[in-house]
Structure formats: C-alpha cells, structure tokens
Structure 1
Amino acid sequence: MPRHTSAVLDQIDERMIDLCGAGPVGAGAQYHLSTGGSRVRARLGLEAAGALALAPGAAEACAVGPELLHNASLVHDDLQDHDATRRGHPAVWRRFGPAAAVCVGDVMISAAFAAMASHPDPARAIGLMHAAIARTANGQARDLRKPCLDLDAYRALVAEKTGTLIALPVRLALAAANAPGDSLALEVGDTLAFAYQAIDDIRDRDADRASGRVNLCTRLGTGDKGVSLARSAARDALHAARHRAAGLPGQTGASFCNLADRMDSKLTEHANAA
C-alpha cells in the first residue's frame, strides 16, 4: 500500500489546527504542532483507513483524533517532567507558561473528540477514545513515580503509556468498518510500543540516567551491554508485531508493518552511529 505524501499529512495538520480554534490557546496548539513530529498516529490512521476503503471523513477522524491525543500528552508530559524543550524548540510550558500549557493540552483533547464527528460510529469511537486516554493517563501516573521495574513491569508500563495511542488509529478504523480485530490491534500496538520506547531509551540513556527516569538500557545491563540487549529486544518485538499484524482483516496490518519498518531503520541508524 502506498505511503502517504507530505501533502496529505499537511492537510491533517491543518485540520488539527482548525479544530483547536483561535485565541491564545489555539496559538499554543499551533505552535506545538509546528515544531515537527513524525505524525506516526496520523499515518497509521490513514493507512488503516485506506486498507479498509473508508470514506475520506472517516479516514480523517482515524488520523486526526489519535494524533491530537498524542500531542496533548506531550504538552502535559513536558510540563510534568519539567522538560524545557520538545523537538529542539522550547516546550509549550516554557514558551507560554505552565498554566497555558495545561489549557493547550486540554483543548487538544477536546478537539480530538470533536474529530469523531466524522467517524461513521461516533458513539463507539468516543468510547475507544476515552478508554485510550484513561489507560494512557494511568501509565503516565505510574511513570511519574519513577519506579524501579523488572522487564515485565517495564513492558506493561510502556504498553499503557505508548501502546494505547499507537493502537488507537487502527482500532478506530476497524470500528468504522465494523470489522473484527480490535483486541489484536491493541496487542500489536503494545508490542510495537516496546520497540518504540526501546529506541528512545537507547537515544536518551545518558539523560535518563542523570534524571532518574525509567530506561530499558539500564534495566538490562551496564554500558554497551545494556544498549546491545535493548536493541536485540526491540528487534524481537518488531518481528513479533509484524507476525501478529498479519492476523488483522485484509491489509489493515500493513499500517503496523510500515511503522515497524521505519523503527527497524532507526535501530540500524543507532547501531551504525555507535
């Protein structure tokens, strides 16, 4: 299935900005969205919708809603962790103030629900959205305690924090098509999240160690050994995710496989740079 062009993703960005509205809160949302990002969840929604032959409005809902929720979580996460930068730019709370950052994240969440107006089954979509927010928020709350985790507990935490919103675009697409596979999509999202977070942990291991944050590399070993084991575990997760995604209806699983391919490339880049 063809990858989506930057022009299509630009349209998704325009829709997200439009839904967030005008005024100082909308300006903060537009600022955050303008700083970049790979639009992983928007791509997943568009590709899954394409595989299921959904109408344009439904495809937009599957892309816009999860992408807005993800970006809202970043705005709030930066504030909670006191991270001064995001994507090489001042975080929203540093640029506009902590109180404004809360409002910006809140309006993004509200806008994500507004995007469900174009979903063929808004009631079901809203239920999926709420469940995703609740699970993600619980994962964030656990992470803020800076727990000392074994590998199984780490996987569970990452599944809550990250896997939920990776799975959501595909789950929304399946719901729009009234197709089976919801629980499998969540399982694949959780598996991909482990690899996704492992890549971040490999990149951020020194900063995470200094701040006391949870990091897979330091859980698996010291120095290069921890990095090597984290890389190997991530590749195993990508392989498992591809295998499980094949069980989704039609070519829906290809959206997950495309993401796995992009993450595999990042792992190779990290290995070559080491």
Structure 2
Amino acid sequence: MDSSVLPNSLSSWKDPLEATVSQRLAKIEPNSLGEAIRSACKGGKRIRPLISLWFGAAHGVDRDSSLGVACLTEWLHNAFLIHDDIQDGDVWRRDEPTLWKSHGTATALNAADWLLSAVYSEITRLSVEDSVRSRLLLAVSDVHRRTVEGQQLDLGGRADSQFQLSDYERLVKSKTGRYLALGMVCAAILAGFDDDCVNSLWRVGDQLGPAFQIQDDLLDLTPEKGRGGEFGNDIREGKPSILFAHSVQSASLSEAECKRLVDIMALPRVETSASEVEECIGLFQKAGSIDFARGEAKSRSKTGLELFASISGLSGEVLQEFEMICTYMTDRSR
C-alpha cells in the first residue's frame, strides 16, 4: 500500500463522518452564520476525527457516540484554524480563501465562537454516565487551554533570534501534541479505559502530533504543496518552526547568515518576496535543518508507535493499523 495515501482503516470512515458533519451544520441561524461555518468546515484531511472513529470502533464504542466525539474534534480544529488565519494574515486555506478573507473578520470570529460552543454541546448530548462526561470535559477543556497557550508561544517566538529547540518542543507539544491525541483519548474514555491507558495515549500524541506538524512544515517548503499553491507561508509569517529553531542554533551558519535569516523572517508577510523565501530555504538547507526535521518526524512517529504498543489490551490488528497511520503521518504528500 502507498504510505502517502490515507490508510483504509481511516478512509473507510470518511463517508459517515462527512454525512454527520453535513447534518450537524445544516440548520444554523442566521443563514449568514451557517454559510460561514459550513465554509470553514469544508474539506481538509479530517485526520483527528478519523483517528477517533477508528479507535472507537476498534474498542466497542457505539457509532453515535463515536461520531459525536469525532465531530467535537473537528469543531475544535476548525475554530482554531479560523483564529490562526486571522492572527497570521493567511489568505488561503485548503486551496480556497480563508474565512476572514471571504466572509469578513467579524463573521469569521463569530463562526469560530459558534464552533467552540458546539464542542461542548457534543459532550452534553452523549448518553453516558456523569463520571464519564466529567472525564471527557476535563480532557477537552485541557486540550482547549493548552492549544491556546501553544498558539501564544507561537506568536511570541516569531522571528526571535533566541528561539531554541527547547522552546519549540514546549510550543509544539502544547499546540499540536495533545490536540492530535484528543479524539483517541475521548474514544478511550467512552470505551472505559483507565487513567493509566489514557495518559499513555496523551504521550503518544506528544510524539505523533509534532511528527504530523513537522511534515506540514516540510510540505510548506515545496512548490504546489503549500496553502493555495503558495509555498513558504511559514517563512512569510515568521513562524518559529523546527526548521527555524534548528537553523538559528546551527554552527553551519555564520553570524551574518543567522542575522539574515532572522531579518527575512521578521519581514511583514506582504513584503516578503519569493526570492527571499527561496533564500531562507537555502539557509535551512545549509544549516542541515531540513534533514534534521525529516529525521525528527520519523523518530517521533516511531516513538509514538512504541508508546502505543506498550498500552495493555490492544489487539495485534489495532497495532498494525496504527503503524500504517504513523507511517502516513510522515510520508503523506499533502
């Protein structure tokens, strides 16, 4: 099987998920808000809800509950993307204009607020014991808080010449790690997994989430793979990626080259030229940061798989399917 293609264990859930997303978002008033929300939730890989559905089905979670948990991860994800795009000034998302660009900033913010409220509505509608609902609320609210904190670290680290790999580690685990594991954790709670198993799944996310993000960062450097076909968006935004953190620490770059890298990253997005993006990529290459990032993505994916395999009670089939998911995370081309 082509490891750059979504594994069948996940792709088999795409149609039920799309049908549920469409049904949930069909009747939102006023219509202008509904249109904006549906636009924000259109497309995307939906990797988080698909992993949640796969894990829930493998452990006996009923279909309706699994789909509810999958939806809450998708609502949270899209709400964060709307906020990120506004903060970053991004004009493309999933090869279409970002929501603030197509519907205006005010409506975009309203759509994100609605989606955040829908996250918690999904938990209230589940037919579960209060103790289970309490565990779900704690998990979701913790990820909500951590992701916002991670985004603030991201904003504070932009074009920062003192930004270190240790700073990146803190940022990416807050913003991406727990966030990716949330769907599996919620499914595990519904399936009756104890806290030790749940904590192990969080640790899996701490490895697999960054691996997924690093692959996104690498794809952003590739023409026709970036957002809206435009590459180097993270450079234009001055984002403190693993590439930037490694480069500014690299002994392979001179002091002048490090300063030039930081100066390019500090430019306003609209003033960053294509040649400056290419220059920055060249500095990443000279510093060995691209090869370093590829190695980190592979290593973290492998560690995530090993942590997953250490969880008691998982079947051989589940382990095999998760291995394919981990490989997809670092081999995908989109």
Root-mean-square deviation over aligned CA pairs = 2.2
Q: Distance in 2 between matches of 1:122 and 1:258?
A: 31
**Which position in structure 1 is the counterpart of 2:326?**
260
TM-score (norm 2): 0.74
Q: Distance in 2 between matches of 1:262 and 1:5?
A: 16
Determine which of 305, 325, 328 is the counterpart of 1:242. 305
TM-score (norm 1): 0.89
Q: How many residue pairs align between the two structures? A: 267
Residues 220 and 226 of structure 1 are in contact (CA less than 8 Å); yes or no, is this contact kept in structure 2?
A: yes
- 2:126 corresponds to 1:100: no
Aligned counterparts, 1:68-217, within 5 A: 68-116=75-123, 117-118=125-126, 120=128, 121-147=132-158, 148=160, 149-180=163-194, 181-205=197-221, 206-217=232-243
Q: Extract unaligned runs of 5+ from structure 1.
A: none
Deviations 1:135-181 (A, max 9, x none): 11111111111354322221221111111221111110111122121
Determine which of 56, 62, 67 is the counterpart of 1:55. 62
Q: Which amino acid aligns with 1:198?
A: I
Secondary structure of 1:93 counterpart: helix
Comparing 84-93 with 251-260, greater Cα deviation is found at 251-260
Q: Which amino acid aligns with 2:295?
A: S
Give the number of the structure whose alpha-carbon radius of gyration is greater. 2
Give, in angstroms, the shift of residue 254 of structure 1.
Answer: 6.1
Give, in angstroms, the shift of residue 20 of structure 1.
Answer: 5.6
Gap change, CA 1:75 and 1:69, over 3 Å in 2: same
Q: Distance in 1 between matches of 2:209 and 2:165?
A: 14
Secondary structure of 1:154 counterpart: helix
Q: Distance in 2 between matches of 1:125 and 1:37?
A: 25
Give, in angstroms, the shift of residue 26 of structure 1.
Answer: 1.8
**Which position in structure 2 is the counterpart of 1:232?**
295
Q: Which amino acid aligns with 2:70?
A: A
Residues 215 and 330 of structure 2 are in contact (CA less than 8 Å); yes or no, is this contact kept in structure 1?
A: no
Determine which of 3, 9, 14 is the counterpart of 2:17. 9
Give, in angstroms, the shift of residue 110 of structure 1.
Answer: 0.9
Q: Which amino acid aligns with 1:89?
A: E
- 2:32 corresponds to 1:24: yes
Q: Which amino acid aligns with 1:93?
A: W
Give, in angstroms, the shift of residue 114 of structure 1.
Answer: 1.2
Residues 168 and 245 of structure 2 are in contact (CA less than 8 Å); yes or no, is this contact kept in structure 1?
A: no
Gap change, CA 1:260 and 1:110, over 3 Å in 2: same
Residues 136 and 160 of structure 1 are in contact (CA less than 8 Å); yes or no, is this contact kept in structure 2?
A: yes
Give, in angstroms, the shift of residue 202 of structure 1.
Answer: 1.4
Residues 42 and 67 of structure 1 are in contact (CA less than 8 Å); yes or no, is this contact kept in structure 2?
A: yes
Secondary structure of 1:118 counterpart: coil
Q: Extract unaligned runs of 5+ from structure 2.
A: 1-7, 222-231, 248-282
Taking only the aligned residue pairs, the percentage that are identical comes to: 25
Q: Which amino acid aligns with 1:162?
A: T
